[in-house]
Structure 1
Amino acid sequence: MGKSKLWDRQQLLVAFDLYFRLRFGQFDHRNSTVIYFANLIGRTPSALAMKLSNLASLDPVITSSGRSGLTGASTADRTMWLEMKTDWLAFSEQMNAVVSTLGEPLQDVMPDVREEPLVSYHGMTKEVITKVRIGQSYFRTAVLSAYNNRCCISGLAVPKLLIASHIVPWSEDPQNRLNPTNGLALSALHDKAFDLGLLTIDESYRVVVSGKINHKNDHFFDSSIKSFHGKSIFLPDKSSPQADFLAMHRETIFEKRF
């Protein structure tokens, strides 16, 4: 397929999928994942790397940090970016549907991809469970890649101990279940504390630990959770946590439960 031909929708869906799965610094024609998927969609690695950088120019997190990506985003790129923001769930299902038909499972191409189990699959059909699992894999990879595979509170960088934590719980906002801006990369401990409302993130992206917890003489709690009170989280390269999602967590989970 010649470079001069317009990108079709399937190729763009693959590019969008990789945009969220890869870190900003991995948008390179020498990256093995870029090479692999470029070959599958009939584009050169350079063309796919360029497309990823064009998509970066549409990402407000990238542009607000002084990085601009490239300036060649097409009308189709912009239209699909808006489509994605309007309905994350439908768009992610389309990305997954295309990527799943291309070749090897993502687990074989990108080893960090793995499933994070939901609390329960009760009442779901096998087809729905499959979609949920694929969606969880996408969400995890998109969130962790944005935070460079580090806990945004502690800096822990062991992928097996990291969780792509939903800010607004999975069950409470179906439309934003797979929206990476509804996620934080957290250690398993801080994910649980966040989920229970033991801590939250304020308007200035600082950690707030509940003062209503009875933790006298608990040195582990003091060192692993309380010590982060007032400290800024590490903000991601892309897909920065959405302010209204954090506000909802503060209002309905953190303050309400304690």
Structure 2
Amino acid sequence: MNRIVPQDLIPGKVYPAGTDSSSHFANEPLSRLFRFGDGLRGLGNQGGIRRSMVEGRDGAPREEAFTVILDTGKQSEWRNEYDPTSGILVYYGDNQTPGKDFRDTKQRGNETFLKYFDRAYSVEESHHAPFFYFERVGNNDVRYVGIALPYVEGMTRDEVLRRQQFHHQGAGASYENLVARFTVLPLAVSGEWLVDLKTGIIGGPNEPEAWRAFRDDRSIISSDDDALDDPAVEDFSRPPRLHEGARMTMYRLSQSRFQESLLRRSSCCELCGLAVRELLVASHILPWAHSDDRQKDDPDNGLVLCDMHDGLFDKGFISFDEEGRILLTSRLDANSLRLVGIREDMTIRMWPGREVYMRHHRARFEDPLG
């Protein structure tokens, strides 16, 4: 079979429709763009949301290789909106049928949105597939805008993907549809990576660093703006640039995984025994900012404390010796100790792995009374 590598996708570049008068499908620009050889299928429908599935992995779960979303500008009851300044795309799902479950659509667009927004906001390991966002230009041509990430920094899953009721003017009845908010990265994509996605290759040399950062840590990275001034530039080697807030995104994802791990080990405050989950904190012993990648996720580098005792530990009012006995500072008098529920005979469990980190904490702990 013939190996066909699709064209590279360049932000801002317009991809024209074909000129074959005998076939409408052959002229359709997205069908022409995402054409693969070696028996691999491309995009097989004409809708605004088009899925392409991973092929060639016998026995593996059926997953999307990627999804193409197109703003046709033709929906009168709701219109997609893209703000290039903020990078936020508001894009509507594919249900417009009154009396029908909003997920039950021919091309499964809403179902795909639910799957990948849920995965983007989950700490569980799972398959992620990019969304490629295009806009219709003129009658049939399309412009590639960038990779649409099913995630917005500072917003919750329920804020970025909402179910909303609409009124179908023609039918005179209501229906439900999804309203999604994506973060769009104006990122160039090589045709070789599209082939990798179709054949299930994850993390290969053709994968853009910005996509890898999102997939691994939900870090939001953009390619260098200068590379996008000329839409004909096809340079995939420029270094990525970290968006403001990406560090906090990495922290939130790391902390979420860390917390789930520690709360599975201990369901109450290790110092006082409080078992109200909403009042428990998975605290790093060696602070996250001072930890390397392994230490950030190492359960030995953590302990579960209630809000009050976590604050005391974090600010150096208490620490623990090599046997797990509490250490106190002179900054807390007897009355303060009583008010915060601290006794001098309190202990936590200690083991060699935890003690390695606790030494760092004790080194920053002042004036122990022991």
Sort the TM-score into its range (normalised by shorter chain). 0.3 to 0.5
- Using the size of structure 1 for normalisation, the TM-score is 0.45
Q: Whose Rg is larger?
A: 2
- Using the size of structure 2 for normalisation, the TM-score is 0.33
